[in-house]
Chains A and B, each alone.
Chain A
């Protein structure tokens, strides 16, 4: 159980880190300009934010028989958790100041990363489902003889 949760965590963590690096590259180019210099801590900040935001995926229910409403509620709660984590940590790391363009951009980026990671996970699950369906057909052919 723990191993499976850990595997899921690292699967999400890989995707989140990739997206956060990409988002930081775009965000800094737009808001901080070409000539800006960064502290080496930026990499640790990215690693920390990706680690904290990925943690939420571990707490999503894995039970089979939860309702669609609860599944959606969990997704919304996870999104809120990601939002709060990034906004609070981002503020302390000095990634943005309280002005509307920056706050809105942060929100757009957080949403874009959340949607991208969810989409990538869904695509991966679709590939798994295809394999399972193929395996299932073969299994049923072999076992219904």
Chain B
């Protein structure tokens, strides 16, 4: 890959990427340039979309593939769940079970269910489970 660095004549710095396809490494580098956490590259079929993380309700890992669930749509991510957990640790996302990372800003309410687990009712009326194991971390994150 050829890297060309030119002076910014008009004062505004700009990165232009010329490529045949956006690779995972390129997207990672882009995320770092963007400050890391505001947007994520999500995939749906052949379509790649840079999505604001604030629009994502939760991430779930199913058979080693991580999906991002938005209000009505589901996208695939190329990141592993632990990578997302690390990247999003300073945001409103937190691990809610072994296979899930949830956006606290998208939870409408929490209620207890059978066997000491909790259920989160999301703002899109979807229900997801929170393991007892992560309730302590949730309390910490909420400052309780």
Contact = CB atoms under 8 A, between A and B. Distances in A.
Interface of A: 1, 4, 8, 60-66, 68, 71-72, 74-75, 121-122, 125-126, 128-129, 131-133, 135-136, 138-140, 143-144
Give me the 8 closest cross-chain CB pairs, A-B, nearest first.
A64-B97, A125-B112, A135-B142, A64-B129, A64-B131, A135-B144, A71-B114, A62-B131
Main secondary structure of the interface of B (DSSP, over half): mixed
Contact of A64 (B100, B104, B144): B100
B105 A143 contact: yes
* Highest count of chain B CB atoms <10 Å: which of A4, A125, A126, A143: A125
A65 B115 contact: no
B45 interface: no
B98 to A, nearest CB: 6
21 contacts: A4-B133, A62-B116, A62-B132, A63-B97, A63-B98, A63-B99, A63-B131, A64-B117, A64-B128, A65-B129, A71-B117, A74-B115, A125-B112, A126-B112, A129-B112, A131-B139, A132-B144, A133-B110, A136-B104, A136-B110, A143-B92
Main secondary structure of the interface of A (DSSP, over half): helix
A119 B113 CA distance: 11
Interface residues on B, range: 35 or more
A144 B105 contact: yes
Interface of B: 60, 92, 96-100, 104-105, 107, 109-118, 128-136, 138-139, 141-144
